[in-house]
Amino acid sequence: MSILLSRASRVLVQGLTGREGSFHTEQMKAYGTNVVAGVSPGKGGTLNLGVPVFDTVADARRETGAEVSGIFVPAPFAADAIMEAAAAGIGLIVCITEGIPLYDMVRARAFVEDAGAKLIGPNCPGLVTAGEAKVGIIPNHINTAGSVGIVSRSGTLTYEVIQGLSQAGVGQSTSVGIGGDPILGLSFAEVLRLFKDDPATRAVVMIGEIGGSDEEAAAEAVIGREFGKPVIGFISGRTAPPGKRMGHAGAIISGNTGTAASKLQALKRAGAQVCDTIEEVVAAAGAAVGQPSSAAHR
């Protein structure tokens, strides 16, 4: 079982014929993802990488039964692409694009919520169900199927944790990069609830960073309320100078919320095991699922 994505999921790619869309679609197909359609306005009726291309998401969904969309569309058009997918009835939308204007994302997220769809991103690496399928840019070779779920705001740290776990012989169930922008789709809390109900996930690694209050909210609303599975937490940005924005657009501290200290305290109060390094995260996750290894993150 998996959350959100499986090898049976029918995936379309918005922006398939562009440079980034073509490259990452090829990687997605190589991993086993069932890519059934691409969408590039004006190029309908053509083929790219052996995948039929349509002018609109509605056409692609009607002809192929696509249910998941991966968006590799330039920032000025990405919010419209998100809303087009939601309007066409796509249930899961994964937007990789960074730099989408804030107001555009306010409108897009509201539209997605009204449509009853799920959005991952934007400005994210996407997700992968290890050994089954991926939508996004997480490297294929670092994933190993297993029982540790990962949810993260940082793409780079997502890769580091996945690779560290795999090197230690600890497999993953699903890895989800929710993105680092101020306006996002699925939150930490929402992904954690999916992991809570997933029998294939026995422990969860949660990778946060300074800025915003999403980590604190997840700790209070989900982890601290009979989550029932070990949660290993890591917060990046602890050494950021006070008052200085670091990293993602969402890494903005306001008052006493959003600081590394407040997030660490919230996670500890909720019962999560908080780690100081990626090596500690790997070791803790392995121990949580009964696969301790001295090979962790060599």
Tokens for 81, please give them. 């692409």
291 — pLDDT class (breaks 50, 70, 90): confident
pLDDT surpassing 60 at residue 298? no
What does the pLDDT read at residue 80? 98
Which of the following is catalytic: 24, 141, 248, 297?
Answer: 248
- The answer to which of 88-102, 124-138, 158-172, 250-264 has the lowest mean pLDDT is 250-264
pLDDT in tens, 87-103: 999 999 999 999 999 99
210 — pLDDT class (breaks 50, 70, 90): confident
| Collapsed DSSP state (helix, strand, coil) of residue 149 | strand
In the annotation, is 297 catalytic?
no
Hey, what amino acid is at 61?
R
H or E segment at 133? strand 133-136
CA distance 22 to 149: 28
CA 288 to chain centre: 22
pLDDT in tens, 64-76: 999 999 999 999 9
| Collapsed DSSP state (helix, strand, coil) of residue 177 | strand
Residues 156/195, Cβ–Cβ less than 8 Å? no
The arithmetic mean of pLDDT across residues 137-151, rounded, is 98
246 — pLDDT class (breaks 50, 70, 90): low
CA distance 166 to 57: 36
Nearest to 176 by CA among 237, 217, 212, 129: 129
The answer to whether the bond into 122 is cis (omega within 30° of 0) is yes
pLDDT in tens, 49-62: 999 999 999 999 99
Nearest to 234 by CA among 139, 147, 152: 152
How does strand 126-129 pair with strand 172-177? antiparallel
Taken in order of first residue, the domains within the chain and their CATH numbers are 10-120 (3.40.50.720), 138-288 (3.40.50.261)
